[in-house]
Amino acid sequence: MARDIAAPGRTKEILEHHGFSFKKSLGQNFLIDRNILEKIVLTSKAGAEDGVIEIGPGIGGLTEHFAKAAKQVEAFEIDGRLLPVLEETMAPCKNVRIWNEDILNVDIRRVLSENFKNVQDIIVTGNLPYYVTTPIIMNLLEQRLPISRMVFMMQKEVAERLAAEPGSKDYGSLSIAAQYFADPVKTMVVPKTVFIPKPNVDSAVVRFEIRDTPPVEVEDEAFFFRVIKAAFAQRRKTIWNNLQHNLTGRDRREELAAALQEAGIDSGRRGETLTMQEFARLSTFLKRHLH
């Protein structure tokens, strides 16, 4: 029986055979622990009738496990040098298709409608490089795609920000944005020792259950996110200072004071203490007073 692609010895053989060298600029770190790969697939709840989109398959370690669990896998790899490697490693997996594209430039809705016609749930997965983790996650969430969940490996620090609660040091605009569209839960921490090459920090896996509707109602979504961004512009400043400097301007202080009062929010609080519900209320009253 063939060894797993992710077995350390086999990974090294594959890389040496193809003369592959890692590109630091692409944040390439390949996972070499079968147990963790199996846990990621279990966490995703992928079943025999499901479709999977994988971002950054590398040499196919995780792809191989999803190919066994799901009906169809569409994997997007930005590094063209990995195509001949994947062609070889994925040869036994007839339900895997490799795309040499940057996921941020892909019309994912079209890919889903054309390639996942007869699947039950759609799952998005991948080991995301640090430099594009947030853009990829937010791009997928904001498009409101017909997907059930996403399961991503990422730097532990980003995972903690995504799942953070109000009042914690990690809570910020990213926490609220992610939790508005999905329910992100950190499911496991992955030590840096199980990757080649070894990254500088530990990683974590986050599962996002996509929400049918956001947990709060807002009149103007774009304005709601502008308020949040402004409130976190400088973490040590109060909500009053941040909103005055980054949203309303000094000449609209009366309107800002009235909106805070109507929303029941003390102007001396900091942004990181406000819940999503409080931000929703505040954005509604601010919009009414400013327009």
Mean pLDDT, range 59-85, rounded to an integer: 97
3-state helix, strand, coil in the chain (%, to 5): 50, 15, 35
* pLDDT the model gives residue 2: 63
84 and 18 Cβ atoms separated by less than 8 Å: yes
Helices of type H across the chain: 8-17, 34-44, 61-69, 83-89, 108-115, 133-142, 156-162, 173-181, 221-231, 239-243, 253-263, 276-290
Contacts of 221 (CB under 8 A, 6+ apart): none
pTM of the model: 0.94
Distances in whole angstroms, Cα of residue 183 to Cα of each of 41, 149, 152, 156, 258: 18, 9, 13, 17, 32
Confidence of residue 236 (pLDDT cuts 50, 70, 90): confident
CA distance 285 to 256: 9
The single-letter DSSP state of residue 238 is B
Look over the chain and give the mean of its residue pLDDT values, rounded to a whole number.
94
CA distance 277 to 194: 40
Backbone angles phi, psi at 91, to 5 degrees: -50, -40
Q: Which two tokens stand for residue 47?
A: 């079943």
Q: Cα 138 to chain center, whole Å?
A: 7
* pLDDT the model gives residue 209: 98
Backbone angles phi, psi at 276, to 5 degrees: -60, -40
User: Which residues contribute to the annotated binding site for S-adenosyl-L-methionine?
Assistant: 29, 31, 56, 77, 102, 127
Range of weakest confidence among 30-34, 52-56, 96-100, 287-291: 287-291
* pLDDT the model gives residue 27: 80
CA distance 174 to 170: 9
Q: Which residue has the tokens 């040590």?
A: 236
CA distance 142 to 158: 18
Q: Work out the angle at residue 83's Cα, subtended by the Cα atoms of residues 77 and 89, and round it to the nearest 5 degrees.
A: 105
Mean pLDDT, range 104-117, rounded to an integer: 95
**Per-position b or e across 1-22, b if 16+ CB within 10 A of its CB:** eeebbbeeebbeebbeeeebee
Q: Residue 72 pairs with which residues in a beta bridge?
A: 51
* pLDDT the model gives residue 1: 46
CA distance 178 to 162: 6
- Domains by residue range for the chain, with CATH: 8-210 (3.40.50.150), 221-290 (1.10.8.100)
User: Which residues contribute to the annotated binding site?
Assistant: 29, 31, 56, 77, 102, 127
Tell me: pLDDT of 183 over 80.
Answer: yes
Q: Residue 127 pairs with which residues in a beta bridge?
A: 153
